[in-house]
Amino acid sequence: MGVLRCTGIESLPERGLFRIVVDDAPASPEVLERVARVADVLLRENSLQGRFVAEKDGAIALELPEAKRTFFHNGIVFAALDAVNDPVRNPTLTLLARPSDE
């Protein structure tokens, strides 16, 4: 897998969308699920509101009204991308974000 990158952020009234690509193509649903799980772990660890979910078309969504979002939420996405890009360097996040069926 290539390096994950965020190529755009769209702010909607009830959610924020983060466009994620790998090698200039939309990230797969499996990769998006992994990023969303890591981002959720980071939200909880930082006592931030919201929930991340994988979307179609290479995006993850932050389900949180625009008025409640802060710049920290954007940083959470970039930290999650770093963790998924380099799981060896981020072993705790990698383990905490494992799906419950593993």
Q: Which is it for strands 4-11 and 25-26: parallel, antiparallel or unpaired?
A: unpaired
Candidates 20, 13, 7, 2; CA nearest to 60 is 20
The correct CATH number of 4-94 out of 3.40.91, 1.20.120, 3.30.450, 3.30.1360 is: 3.30.1360
Domains of the chain, by residue range, sit at 4-94
Whether the pLDDT of residue 101 is over 70: the answer is no
Q: What's CA 78's distance to the chain center, in Å?
A: 7
38 Cβ partners below 8 Å, 6+ apart? Answer: 79, 80, 83, 84, 93, 94, 96, 97
Residue 22 corresponds to which amino acid?
A: V
Instruction: List, for residues 32-80, the tens digit of each pLDDT value.
Output: 999 999 999 999 999 999 999 999 889 999 999 999 999 899 999 999 9
Instruction: List, for residues 14-23, the tens digit of each pLDDT value.
Output: 999 999 999 9
pTM of the model: 0.87
